[in-house]
Amino acid sequence: MLDINLLRKDLDAVVAKLERRKSPQPFLDVAAFTALETERKQIQVRTEELQAKRNSLSKQIGQLKAKGQDVAPVMAEVAGLGDELKAAAERLEQVQAALNATLMGLPNLPQDEVPVGRDETGNVEQRRWSPAGPGTDAAPLPFTPRDHVDLGVPLGLDFDTAAKLSGSRFAFLRGPVARLHRALAQFMLDVQTQQHGYTECYTPYIVNQEVLEGTGQLPKFKDDMFWVSRGGDETAPAQYLISTSEISLTNSVREQILDAAQLPIKLTAHSPCFRSEAGSAGRDTRGMIRQHQFDKVEMVQITTPEQSDAALQEMVGHAERILQLLQLPYRVVLLCTGDMGFGAARTYDLEVWLPAQNTYREISSCSNCEAFQARRMQARFRNAAGKPELVHTLNGSGLAVGRTLVAVLENHQQPDGSIAIPEALRPYLGGQAVLRA
């Protein structure tokens, strides 16, 4: 959530930064916001006047009583002021709620260095890597590559059974491909914890509404979430399946004041992720690229404002390391203003090469949210002056397990359909060097 004082002090500057996000519709109704702010000020000024008058009249009542004079008219006037103050307080609460709802619908402001663009065509490539070395493109396979579906089905990738169980965009894994999926997740966790200093966590998969508000999934993206109920109890508060463990990891510091010495906090977790993908009908319907349920190893950092830019670069490197160890060609792109996520101030995507598609596809997204989430969560630390200050929050995929499985299948396929296992992954498969049906 943005700091409302930014809007109060320099509304034009905030609107200009929001417009850099290139949304078809304005994010902020300036006239409506200005009207609410004007009314808020008027109510607060009137409230102060009424309170001052009531205090004056209360003193007058004491003086009249001391003189034995009639206080009934003055007491009636005080009662009337009380009624007006109550009405003002109720209206102020309504105005404040409307202002808060406006703020909850506003995305984060992009950092000045973020390129301006309407969609992914405005993203700026930063670098490439392949097993041949930094700056190199993926070497073409010496045969016509198969896609991950054709490769995966003989290895146990089963979409038909999943469709019978749950409908489209689910996968049922068995045998070799299930082992590969598990091995990838364990490998990623070990790299992030043992090499990069993250603390492994296991989090709930179901969270409360205010938790999703804290990281920005609600209220804007409610239709992209899966909702759950407790045995049909309509009186129970709304709960949701997590779309990423970023939600639970980041909210682990909500409503806390941390010691500066605790920062940065580095957390990681492997979890399933559930997304209804309401706005993606017809996209990536083949295979495992876009699923309603998928697994991900997530990275989260909680830092001071001074640390967050460096932490973002570090996290990108942590995600890159996984791809390098798996010998998967990739590129890093800086997202433009129109392609960034709702809560991000700056985002880098890692895109892995998929030979069968002859293109790069997103496999990790690393974002600095600055104080946007922290303000919603009221997550703070004590700064050098001993005063509470909002932390900065960062998140990134380290990596999406299903998409990594896709990349391993396609990049390490052999002419007979078997899969050469990258050396770094072999210990997680009992030393197995080749995956065969």
Query: Do residue 135 and residue 22 come from a single domain?
Result: no
Domain harbouring 81, CATH code: 1.10.287.40
Average confidence score pLDDT of the chain: 95
- Pairwise pLDDT comparison (67 vs 182), residue with the higher score: 182
**157, pLDDT greater than 90:** yes
Burial group, residue 113, by CB count within 10 angstroms (0-12, 13-18, 19+): exposed
Q: Which pLDDT does position 281 carry in this prediction?
A: 59
**13, pLDDT greater than 80:** yes
Query: Do residue 159 and residue 208 come from a single domain?
Result: yes
- Residue 305: phi and psi, rounded to 5, are -55, -35
Whether 110 is covered by a domain: the verdict is: no
Strands 434-435 and 419-420: antiparallel
Query: Do residue 64 and residue 194 come from a single domain?
Result: no
Query: Do residue 191 and residue 234 come from a single domain?
Result: yes
Query: Do residue 91 and residue 124 come from a single domain?
Result: no
Is 91 assigned a catalytic role?
A: no
Domain harbouring 333, CATH code: 3.30.930.10
- What are the pLDDT digits (tens) for 348-391? 999 999 999 999 999 999 999 999 999 999 999 999 999 999 99
Is 243 assigned a catalytic role?
A: no
Whether 260 is covered by a domain: the verdict is: yes
- What are the pLDDT digits (tens) for 16-53? 999 999 998 899 999 999 999 999 999 999 999 999 99
Query: Do residue 90 and residue 153 come from a single domain?
Result: no
Whether 293 is covered by a domain: the verdict is: yes
Whether 232 is covered by a domain: the verdict is: yes
Cα–Cα distance for residue pair 377/254, rounded to 1 Å: 5
Whether 113 is covered by a domain: the verdict is: no
Is 403 assigned a catalytic role?
A: yes
Query: Which helix H or strand E contains 358, and what residues bound it?
Result: none
- Pairwise pLDDT comparison (235 vs 14), residue with the higher score: 14
Query: Do residue 299 and residue 165 come from a single domain?
Result: yes
Query: Do residue 319 and residue 220 come from a single domain?
Result: yes
Q: Which residues are annotated as a binding site?
A: 244-246, 275-277, 298, 362-365, 395, 397
Least confident of 55-64, 83-92, 161-170, 195-204: 55-64
Is 93 assigned a catalytic role?
A: no
- Note down the domain range covering 87: 4-105
Whether 111 is covered by a domain: the verdict is: no
- Identify which of 166, 249, 269 has the alpha carbon closest to the alpha carbon of residue 207: 249
- What are the pLDDT digits (tens) for 388-422? 999 999 999 999 999 999 999 999 999 999 999 99
- What are the pLDDT digits (tens) for 46-66? 999 999 998 898 888 888 888
- Identify which of 159, 82, 99, 182 has the alpha carbon closest to the alpha carbon of residue 401: 182
Among 61, 80, 105, the domain-final residue is: 105
CA atoms within 13 A of residue 128's CA, in its CB half-sphere: 12
Whether 26 is covered by a domain: the verdict is: yes
**2, pLDDT greater than 60:** yes
Report, as an integer, the average pLDDT of 270-299: 86
Query: Do residue 153 and residue 59 come from a single domain?
Result: no
Burial group, residue 231, by CB count within 10 angstroms (0-12, 13-18, 19+): exposed
pTM over 0.95: no
Q: Which residues are annotated as a binding site for ATP?
A: 275-277, 362-365
Residues 6+ apart with CB under 8 A from 176: 155, 156, 435, 436, 437
Q: Which pLDDT does position 282 carry in this prediction?
A: 60
Q: Which pLDDT does position 38 carry in this prediction?
A: 97
Among 56, 81, 105, the domain-final residue is: 105
Q: Which pLDDT does position 64 carry in this prediction?
A: 83
Q: Considering 275, 375, 376, 380, which one is annotated as catalytic?
A: 275
Q: Which pLDDT does position 277 carry in this prediction?
A: 77
Query: Do residue 44 and residue 131 come from a single domain?
Result: no
Is 146 assigned a catalytic role?
A: no
Query: Do residue 158 and residue 236 come from a single domain?
Result: yes
Number of domains in the chain: 2
Q: Considering 179, 365, 370, 376, which one is annotated as catalytic?
A: 365
Q: Considering 40, 46, 146, 290, which one is annotated as catalytic?
A: 290
Report, as an integer, the average pLDDT of 263-286: 85
Query: Do residue 15 and residue 83 come from a single domain?
Result: yes
- Identify which of 107, 19, 121 has the alpha carbon closest to the alpha carbon of residue 339: 121
Among 47, 80, 105, the domain-final residue is: 105
